[in-house]
A and B are shown apart, each in its own frame.
Chain A
């Protein structure tokens, strides 16, 4: 049987076997966690345990965690609370009318920000350097007493670049602005401690770290303004209405519990696999370029551009070989726009079109990596033979 190699862990991950077990057990706890009877209490106990695990994993308290339907919901919740038009809302941030974010955020931040722009909020999208790092000079010169919120992602999903969140947060607080980080790609992959980072809000998601889909969480620092995105219930202390997703939240709790055990050793292992993968591709294939930061990057994320080959074609040829990767090129979705992250990092459009992302995970082995190197080399060779683009030596 053909080898199957899943290299798309930044898109989503398979369930950790322990997570699956915990979720299957939780399926019988069907009671409504808000009910006072024993059925409800049983579900409530499971939620409390999961909340405790999730909060302690990032150094917070259980009451600081708001479970949500996804990481995207957590992100939207933060941007939404900025525009609280209530006349009597006394929260100080409502007097400020600017948000600072970056050009390489996930679409759920960018689109929520664009929506705020239409409502009259000024949004500044900070540029990044060629490694995907925020331009700190531009940031320092932009932020002012007008700034209500700074929202910058901790680790980028496409290129893996990790930002200096602690420093960005300090600058935000110096100007009295609130500070949020989308840490969906970071939590469970690198150590994250909300106190050390000094964040007011932090978004995370279960399915990126071997937990289930459909459950995210928002850390809300004690005392910072909050406004529910979904109203109509007392769940999550009135901060997110809707009967809790008991099974999903149990899965989230178990996922972070397993990350606490496995994260550090796995990151080392993934890094050595990535080094092997990178070296192999570099050796076998000419005219390529790796994207992202050389050191401040997620251990398992490798983004590479190939001259003369288009991303969707690479993805689909590799798929036929059993290898799953992703492309920043939105070709498959019908848009021709190349990845906004790579464009922000200064790649010319033609290089951005020819980029793929490989994101390693806990099931990948050295054999997987060697198989991938062999197949990527064959696929690129095949594509280049029918490409209109001549592959010259790389510039610079």
Chain B
């Protein structure tokens, strides 16, 4: 019999076919923290909800919902597995690359546009901190998403400037921001100029 050719890794296929920890009972879950990122107009949106073991300061349970493509679904699914038992601090610092690695790799462009789970998780942890009067734990450098479509934050814009982006086009090349709906252009240009001034003004 001919082999079934599949576009992503076997791990992606497994999580795509059998998604774990889907948040089915949204209202009844009683989470300790919840985060939403993305925008369906751009093609991806995610909700991550967590329960916290308050004594240990670890994640006791994690559930999610995703509107998005196969790698968006698989990446949120695998994230929900790996964060269980992690300390809040560890979970707070998971990156898109970590998730992609767990999945046995994803094409670079898919990491950028479909791996949003860690950002939703971050938002969920911050929500937990906020609900419990621990806003000091929310990192001072709190990110703000500037480009909703490609999920690019002000921090990433600042990093791109530090790495040498001088014009809006160069910023777009590095971050892919503003390449879908373009609504963030003015905001991004303003930040670009601000960061250039902050870091390079004589």
A contact set with B: CB distance below 8 Å: 1, 308-313, 316-317, 320, 329, 331-332, 334-338, 348-350, 353, 385-389
Contact = CB atoms under 8 A, between A and B. Distances in A.
Given A310-B69, A335-B179, 16 more contacts: A308-B67, A310-B67, A313-B16, A313-B69, A313-B72, A316-B16, A329-B69, A331-B113, A334-B109, A334-B110, A336-B44, A337-B180, A353-B43, A386-B19, A386-B64, A386-B65
18 contacts: A310-B68, A310-B72, A311-B69, A312-B70, A313-B69, A313-B73, A316-B16, A320-B13, A329-B43, A334-B107, A336-B44, A336-B149, A336-B179, A349-B40, A385-B24, A386-B19, A388-B46, A389-B40
Contacts of A353: 40, 43
A394 B129 CA distance: 38
B113 A386 contact: no
Chain B CB within 10 Å — which of A310, A317, A337 has the most? Answer: A310
Nearest to A312: B69
B78 interface: no
B145 to A, nearest CB: 15
Interface residues of B, number: 37
Contact of B22 (A309, A332, A386): A386
Contacts of B179: 335-336
A386 B40 contact: no
A338 B43 contact: yes
A316 B74 CA distance: 12
A332 B69 contact: yes
A316 B1 CA distance: 21
A154 B145 CA distance: 43
B73 A336 contact: no
Nearest to B149: A336
Contacts of B16: 313, 316-317
Report the 9 A-B pairs with minimum CB-CB distance, sorted nearest first. Answer: A334-B109, A312-B69, A349-B41, A350-B40, A388-B45, A386-B22, A331-B69, A316-B70, A388-B67
Contacts of B72: 310, 313
B7 A331 contact: no
B46 to A, nearest CB: 7
Nearest to A322: B4
B45 A336 contact: no
Contact of B67 (A338, A349, A389): A389
Interface string B70-110: 10110000000000000000000000000000000001011
B181 interface: yes
B150 A336 contact: yes
Interface in B108-130: 109-110, 113-114
A337 B176 CA distance: 12
B65 A388 contact: yes
Nearest to A2: B4
B117 to A, nearest CB: 12
Interface in B42-75: 42-47, 64-70, 72-73
A386 B66 contact: yes
Contact of B181 (A316, A317, A335, A349): A349
